[in-house]
Amino acid sequence: MTRRAPESDHTPAPRVLHVVESWRPLPSGYASRSWWIVTGQRRLGISRPSVLVTSRQSTYGDAPPAPAAGIVLTALAPSATERRRRPNRPFFVDRVHLREAIVRTARVADARLIHVHWSSAIGCAAADAAQELGIALVAEVRFDLAGAMNAQLFRGRMAPAEAGLRRWFERHLKRADAVTAASEVLAGLLRRQGLRVTAVPNGVDADFLSACDAAAARRTAAPGGRVMLGTTSKMLRYEHLDAFFAVLRAVPETDATFVGDGPESSRLKALAQAFAPGRVTFTGRVPAEKIPDRLAAMDLFLVPRENETITRFAGPIKVVEAMAAGRCVVGSAVGETVSLLAGGRGVLVPPGNVAPLVHAVQTLAADPDRRGRLGAAARAYARDTLAGDALLQRYAGVYARAMRGRPVNPPHERNR
């Protein structure tokens, strides 16, 4: 097959089909990152994007994907096979159904590149579609799926099998023209597999920063000098949210808010009733646009993660958003949280040991001035480093490398 380089450095931005697992209004970090990437690329002229939201959106509720200005959005309904299997396998993906949808949508959008935002069957379906269409594929890895499965389902007992699981879940990366990762530490893990990876860490856009400013202006102080602890979470085991209750017992002037939902939700509610009745609020899932208000109500944002593979190679977007909201963050020293909170932008504590977390909260609960200084430093870093367009501009180079040498007239255009 003849391959040609671009004729000019001034070619129009490529038409890119983004295949996303989920989309707003879901409050998950994955949906937020996809929104940030797609809307930011359009604003900056990095690509002319369109979006295909997989049928996994429906597993999180009935809310349809939210429109984004100037972006064509296609929501894929579950196939008959998915409807039959998902009662027992909620996140099952019909790879053939998704591949066919990607091919149709890419043709309508005249896409020259597919950017898939998820791994496993979704990544494989995108790789199949790109091969059928003869266009470039950029594959993005958000988190270590093998590590997450071992931590949540097998409680760390399957560590020897993680490498094999990882190769299976990420097998489509070998077929991609370029690979990106959502953190520097995750990119390092993938490079051990011999892959060339570009890290594009999590960031926030100007709209989120403005919403956080407005939410902070609306905030009123808690009565009686009480200190609100909080987090946003999918409530998975490796988040170690049980640690909140040790803190609540040791620091009686604190209350807590859990924003989100997930597998550990019922157990955590039972613990709250037993050990801190009346002091804990569970909001459940809230729309993405309400997250700044929830963050503004927190005095201390806690991220007490365990030391697992999934956490060692993660860059939690929840930490980035809390920093953007000017919250004082106390987090376990694992993964990219270490670099995010370094330099006086938060407080790091050893993972897996509740005592240092309790001590940090006791100290900060009694020192509102220090909380304010740490929150201000976090906010400044988010504004100057994590909200800059330079992060998103990395995709321009990724796309150029992926498309370099691809045929000018891909097969799906020649066969019309």
What are the DSSP calls for 141-158, one per residue?
E-S-HHHHHHHHHSTTTT
Residue 233's beta-bridge partner residues? 260
- Of residues 241 and 5, more confidently modeled: 241
How far does CA 380 lie from the centroid of its chain? 21
| Lowest pLDDT segment from 58-62, 199-203, 390-394, 395-399 | 58-62
pLDDT on residue 4: 34
Residue 282 scores a pLDDT above 80: yes
pLDDT at 406: 57
Q: What is the pLDDT of residue 322?
A: 97
What is the distance between the alpha carbons of residues 271 and 280, in angstroms, rounded to a whole number? 10
Structural domains for the chain: 15-202+388-409 (3.40.50.2000), 206-386 (3.40.50.2000)
Which residue has better confidence, 169 or 154?
Answer: 169
Q: Work out the average pLDDT over 198-215.
A: 95
269: which 2 tokens?
């509610």
* Pairwise CA distance, residues 407 & 136, whole Å: 10
| CA–CA gap between residue 67 and residue 47 (Å, rounded) | 18
Residue 201 near residue 228 (C-beta atoms within 8 A): no
Residue 289 main-chain phi, psi, to 5 deg: -70, -15
- Summary mean pLDDT of the chain: 91
Rounded CA separation 34/238 (Å): 23
User: C-alpha angle with apex 381: 377 to 385, nearest 5 degrees?
Assistant: 175
pLDDT tens readout for residues 377-388: 999 999 999 987
Neighbours of 268 (CB within 10 A): 20
The pLDDT of residue 416 is 38
Looking at 227-349, which runs of residues are DSSP E strands? 227-233, 254-260, 280-284, 300-303, 328-332, 347-349
Compute the distance between CA of residue 394 and CA of residue 306 in angstroms, rounded to an integer: 31
Distance CA 222, CA 207 (A): 27
pLDDT at site 20: 98
360, containing H or E segment: helix 354-365
Please say if the pLDDT value at position 182 is more than 50. yes
pTM, two decimal places: 0.90
Q: Is pLDDT at 411 greater than 70 in this prediction?
A: no
- What's the mean pLDDT in 341-352? 96
Of 382, 412, 22, 400, nearest to 177 by C-alpha is 400
Spatial CA neighbour of 259 closest among 197, 327, 207 = 327
The yes-or-no verdict on residue 172 having pLDDT over 50 is yes
Q: Residue 415's pLDDT band (boundaries 50, 70, 90)? A: very low
Amino acid at 228: M
Region 8-15: mean pLDDT is 73
Q: Stretch 51-63: mean pLDDT, rounded?
A: 92
Q: Above 80 in pLDDT, residue 5? A: no
pLDDT (average), residues 152-162: 75
**DSSP secondary structure letters along 112-135:** SEEEE---HHHHHHHHHHHHHHT-
Contact (Cβ atoms closer than 8 angstroms) between residue 368 and residue 375: no
- Rounded Cα distance between 276 and 334, Å, is 28
What is the structure's pLDDT at 13? Answer: 95
pLDDT at 10: 55
333-369 residues labelled b (16+ CB within 10 A) or e (exposed): bbbbbeebbeeebbbbbebeebebbbebbeebbeeee
What is the Cα–Cα distance from 236 to 334, expressed in whole angstroms? 16
Q: Residue 6 has what pLDDT?
A: 40
- pLDDT for position 183: 94
Percent of the chain with pLDDT over 90: 79
Q: Are 285 and 313 in contact (CB under 8 A)?
A: no
- For residue 213, give the DSSP letter: H
pLDDT at residue 167 in the model: 86
Give residue 403's pLDDT. 95
Q: Is the link from the previous residue into 49 a cis peptide, with omega within 30 of 0?
A: no
Place 96 in a pLDDT band, splitting at 50, 70 and 90: very high
Q: How confident is the model at residue 408 (pLDDT cuts 50, 70, 90)?
A: very low
Residue entry with tokens 């379906």: 125
* Helix (H), strand (E) at residue 362: helix 354-365
CB 35 within 8 A of CB 43: no
- Measured CA to CA, the distance from residue 32 to residue 22 in angstroms comes to 9
Rounded distance between C-alpha atoms, residue 239 and residue 29, angstroms: 14
CA distance 364 to 258: 19
Q: Looking at residues 137-159, what average pLDDT do you find?
A: 83
Percent pLDDT > 70 in the chain is 94
pLDDT tier, 60 (very low <50, low <70, confident <90, very high otherwise): confident
* Residue labelled with tokens 């390092």: 188
**C-alpha atoms less than 13 angstroms from C-alpha of 50 in its C-beta half-sphere:** 20
